[in-house]
Structure 1
Amino acid sequence: MKNFILVEAPVTSEANYILLHLDPGMPDEAREFKPFTDYTTWLARRGYAVNTDKLYSEHVSRFIDYVYEASKTQFPADVEVTIETVIYSYQVYLLFGTDATNPIAKTLAYSLGKTRLTGQNSIAESIESSIRWFLEVAESKNITTPDHLFSRFYSSRAEYRSQYEVSAHKANSWMAAVIRGSLNSVLPKRKQDKLFAKAGRRNRKNDKQPFKILPFPIERSVDFLRQAKPAKSTTFYRDMTLYALLAATGSRTSEALQVRMPDIDGDDFAVFLRDPFARKTPGITEEEHKLLSWKGRETEVTFMIEPFAKIFWENLEKYLTLEYNSSVGHDFLFQNSDGRPFFASDRSSRDKTLKKYALKAGLPDVTGISTHSLRHMYGTYTLNYMPVPGQPLPGLPITYVKILMGHASVTSTMKYAKHDTDIIEAYIQHANQYVMQRGDASFTTIREEFYLRQLEVLKDEANRIQGTQHD
């Protein structure tokens, strides 16, 4: 830290850690940053483990150092600097450091030497909660014991002062009231809300799709993936690599688009789908980071099916050789023509490209077809048609398909990989033929025939048991 030092508290203190100013001109009795001591005292009273107490104290001390540095930094006149903008810029500061485009985060990253980037997962797991609690403790204490750290950000915001704040100003403590009111606007209103934003799951209720997404016709899939490259295309192998990956693994489009080079094991021919928020993502912009998504996946390993796996590895080699740009600063596998991550491209544009290739491969109608259709195809195939050695009927058990598709529950698998209508239609046609061949009278004997068949099954089972006993 630049402005403070974190030290163990004296034995006489209830807190485990205190934060001391490093300003040489500050009197010794004023070096201790009291709001931090209040916070660590609160931590100690809650009985956290030693390592947790230390971790949370370190997170908050770095946050205070950041805010303090902001309080003595001269920003450009066109940059709005308030307690809200400083606090909300902290996430960008942690994630991007000196590569941030946010002027507050970028300026402070250079000033504080922030070169080691923080992962989104660390923010979500402990940084967010530790700062939230510090702000809540500080808010309650500031009413009676004012802290002037944030005063620079509100010295010109007289329009926010209530009558209480004007009175407090006369007592040289009006800033405490200002901070108290301001933090109420900064802190989330409900416990489940987040202080620092993270990409959320897609809300399908907001999707404006005039049709239902359909499985890609499996009988057309190989021709679709093995079609000839257009003469002028510069992204053909990228697109076919992506489509083959979706067909071979059944992954969500967002999962496939966020595959990075370390996720590909060419020796064992394996591809892993990993949470982008569980690791750092160097080389992408703040706007690109906002477009990262993760719906949740139980397994990061994929189970690739043929012939799509073979097609994927063939196209991957051509894509990396002919189209991939290795000097773009990030390691996402799929790129736009300009080298930026493909996951940040427009979804409707990606679906439009797939439909163009699908029509070229002979699909008569592409209504309801999108990149997600390949995931539907994978689920439909593995659940209903996939040949299984030693099993009279094709198709894997639904509990296995659940694992293949990374679902948390079988309910999700039933939704995405439901039994195909042509199987149901085949059963109905067979039953209809049976009835039509025997005429209307078949209904009068249908229950009798059912019981006769059941009796035959029971006799066969009894004979089998007797044979086993004799052996």
Structure 2
Amino acid sequence: MEYQKFISKFEYKLWLKLIPTVRNGRKTFRFASLNNMQDQFLDNWVYKLSRDYSYRTVKTYCYAIKTFLIYIYTLIDLEGGISNQRLQEALHSYESYLVFGVSSDSEIAKKVAMIVGSPMLVAASVITNLAAVNKFIDASEQLRRALDELESKGAIVSRDLVGFSLETSVGTSVTSTVRAALRRNTWLGACIAGGAHRIKRAGLRAESRVPEIAYMDEFGGDEKAFPIDKCAELIDSAPSLRDKVLWSLTAASGCRISEALNMLKDDIVFKEKELHEKKIFIVDPATRRDKLIEYIPETTINELSYKGRDKPDTFLIEPFASIFWMHLAEYLIEEKNKDRLRGGTCHHSFLIRSITEGTPMCLSYQSLIERFQKVALKIAGRKYGFHSLRHMYGYYLANHCPNPNPNNRRAFGLDLHLVKQYMGHRDIATTKKYAREDAQMLHAAMAASNLIRMGGGPQTVRQTQIIFLKQELQRLEKLEEAA
């Protein structure tokens, strides 16, 4: 088959490599291909990304660009070059390539997928991929404008543009034939020929949305939130004191796992006798780089994940707060004894440490999640990750936490803006994904409205809710007696 000849001849995925590296203390990536100009352009672009984004984001963006360039260069090889019009068609077809692959109705997407395959992305991944590609297209357009200006002034690095860098410009002239060849055979050349336009998402794969209504099971769990009634048992079943501390911390505060792993012992106020005086703060690593450098290398500091919070304060929920303080006291004593056996004191202040070595675990997510998933499956009968504790926390605050506001019509469930603050969200829309309303209470309100309209039964929403809750109480009491 002709396509098979192409794949063996060009080996697309081999000649475009992504190589992890470190530049000026930052973990990043370098591209290696047959085009030196492109590689230097990408190196500079990725390095600039690494200064503004987390390592995880940079890694995601780099692999997205690799996929995109393989797509473009496969088309160039198949057709022997690319015009500006054909480039725009390829960009327009890119989402279809990502989502449908060989099943795409796009002629371009289909024939490229037949050569190199397709990632067949879900909606959330498509959004991230296109965000990366559009950022790359913007940078490519800036390069095009820079080259046009250099050409107009007679300042181009070399006859074939090899060695061109956005950071340098020395001059010789370049012939029209070289520019024509560059236009035909490379992504950057196509950009130089007339510019590439951003890709507008067509929405070919429906974006999955978390329902704003929670259909919880009898233990207070669903597909997102860990069952709150089983959470104490989960923590008690943790395989080590370290895990008990980590799991109860996440359950009590609703913090992200990355925030827990970045936490220092100084972020916890725990020596006060009164429970309400004990506090946990979540601190942005970027605000204390001078302190972190005493414990971990600069490359590790640059990798630390932090999504941002308006305030460092946390709001702890019971009984997980009390469980956390109890295990924390035991854990600190255990770690001090381990340090003594290791022949010295600990040289860092991170709360979560390796059980055997006592080293920080701020980048050791995988080993920790596997332990959690194993116990969660045993306790709840389904697979859960650390984020399920954050969903559980948000659901509890929105529906079952006693409301301290005497003027609020709800005795339970905090105002969504308070939930937003405690969960550390910047956007209320994000909070709604976690703090979903209980379906049972909404059902009661709807039943009341229907009965009022029909002219029978209770005449107000409140009356119907009272009847509904009494019936629900009787049902739960029967279940409790049967248990």
TM-score normalized by the length of structure 1: 0.46
State the TM-score, normalized to the length of structure 2: 0.45
